């Protein structure tokens, strides 16, 4: 099996099962999917292809949850939609947020992706959006984030910096952040508290998790319809943007995904 990074490793049925179970299927359903997948595996198959085949076997809410990582990827290619998505997640965690602020540091001005406050704590958030799932957030980004924090700290009175990415962090980033007291939030990091867990905990999923044409996705995102929740909470804002048939289908998908 070839990982997204290009590394080769043996196919691990248990890892695939863990990923399937995370979306709410029963143990029996997961085993059935793995049994159906087994004859389709071949030497050199990529994790991307395994993901695609499993995703095809799931339906509705379970398929959308399994596809969350790709749904976040489809918020690109630019990083603004990802920044807005992360602000919504932080708001659900109790923070007040402001996006894309120009702040004067001791030496130069900086555009801060998210400035957030909870209680007396002020936090600067740097969002690093990657267009490839196999790309890890590098040490250069962590160094850059900490340098900006130091320059802004005197004038803005920041308590800490957070580095957020839609993929994973390199080992160097993990060590550096721990040493410098920098917060990290990414895919499956921190353990049990990564982006995917926050999205599921607060039932906040990007609208790109739903089945629709890319052209309809682009129209919704460009008009500020970012979350699946927005379809049900702001129907008058999104219905005029797509055909009646598409709108009805999206609302049905949204209700199924958000049903508890």
Query: Alpha-carbon distance 99 to 124, whole Å?
Result: 10
Average pLDDT over residues 219-243: 96
- SS3 of the chain: the string is CECCCCCECCCCHHHHHHHHHCCCCCHHHHHHHHHHHHHHCCCCCEHHHHHHHHHHHCCHHHHHHHCHHHHHHCCCCCCHHHHHHHHHHHHHCCCEEEEEEEEECCCCEEEEEEEEEECCEEEEEEEECCCCCCCEECHHHHHHHHHHHHHHHHHHCCCEEEEEECCEECHHHHHHHHHHCCEEEECCECCCCCHHHHHHHHCCCEHHHCCCCHHHHHHHHHCCCCEHHHHHHCHHHHHHHCCHHHHHHHHHHHHHHHCC
Distance of CA 162 to the CA centre of its chain: 15
Decide if pLDDT at 136 tops 80. yes
Tens-digit pLDDT profile for residues 189-228: 999 899 999 998 999 999 999 999 999 999 999 999 999 9
The per-residue pLDDT for 156 is: 87
* Residue 120: pLDDT band with limits 50, 70, 90: very high
Per DSSP bridges, beta strands 168-169 and 121-128 are unpaired
Burial (CB < 10 A; 0-12, 13-18, 19+), residue 39, is exposed
What's the pLDDT score for residue 25? Answer: 82
Give the pLDDT band of residue 144 (cuts 50, 70, 90).
very high
Report the distance separating Cα 72 and Cα 206, nearest Å.
7
Q: Rounded mean pLDDT of the chain? A: 91
Residue 77 confidence class, pLDDT cut points 50, 70, 90: very high
Q: How confident is the model at residue 150 (pLDDT cuts 50, 70, 90)?
A: very high
**pLDDT for 7 beyond 80:** no
Question: In the chain, how long is the greatest CA-to-CA distance?
Answer: 61
CA distance 40 to 50: 9
153-to-96, 121, 158, 182, 184 alpha-carbon distances in Å? 19, 13, 5, 13, 18
Q: pLDDT tens, 20-68?
A: 887 778 898 889 999 999 989 888 888 878 878 887 888 777 877 788 9
CA distance 81 to 72: 9
């Amino acid at each position: 099996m070839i990982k997204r990074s290009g590394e080769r490793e043996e196919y691990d049925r248990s890892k695939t099962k863990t990923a399937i179970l995370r979306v709410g299927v029963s143990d029996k359903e997961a085993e059935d999917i793995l049994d159906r997948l087994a004859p389709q595996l071949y030497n050199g198959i990529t994790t991307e292809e395994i993901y695609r085949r499993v995703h095809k076997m799931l339906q509705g809410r379970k398929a959308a949850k399994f596809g969350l990582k790709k749904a976040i990827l489809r918020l690109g290619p630019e990083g603004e939609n990802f920044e807005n998505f992360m602000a919504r997640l932080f708001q659900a965690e109790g923070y007040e947020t402001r996006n894309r602020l120009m702040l004067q540091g001791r030496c130069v001005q900086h555009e801060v992706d998210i400035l957030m406050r909870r209680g007396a704590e002020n936090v600067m958030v740097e969002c690093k959006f990657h267009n490839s799932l196999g790309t890890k957030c590098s040490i250069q980004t962590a160094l850059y984030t900490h340098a900006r924090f130091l320059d802004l700290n005197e004038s803005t009175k920041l308590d800490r910096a957070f580095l957020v990415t839609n993929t994973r962090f390199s080992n160097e980033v993990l060590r550096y952040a721990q040493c410098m007291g920098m917060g990290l939030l990414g895919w499956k990091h921190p353990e049990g508290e990564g982006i995917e867990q926050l999205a599921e905990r607060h039932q906040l999923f990007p609208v790109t998790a739903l089945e629709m044409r890319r052209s309809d996705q682009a129209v919704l995102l460009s008009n500020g319809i970012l979350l699946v929740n927005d379809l049900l909470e702001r129907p008058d804002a999104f219905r005029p943007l797509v055909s009646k048939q598409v709108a009805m289908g999206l609302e049905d998908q949204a209700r199924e995904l958000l049903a508890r």
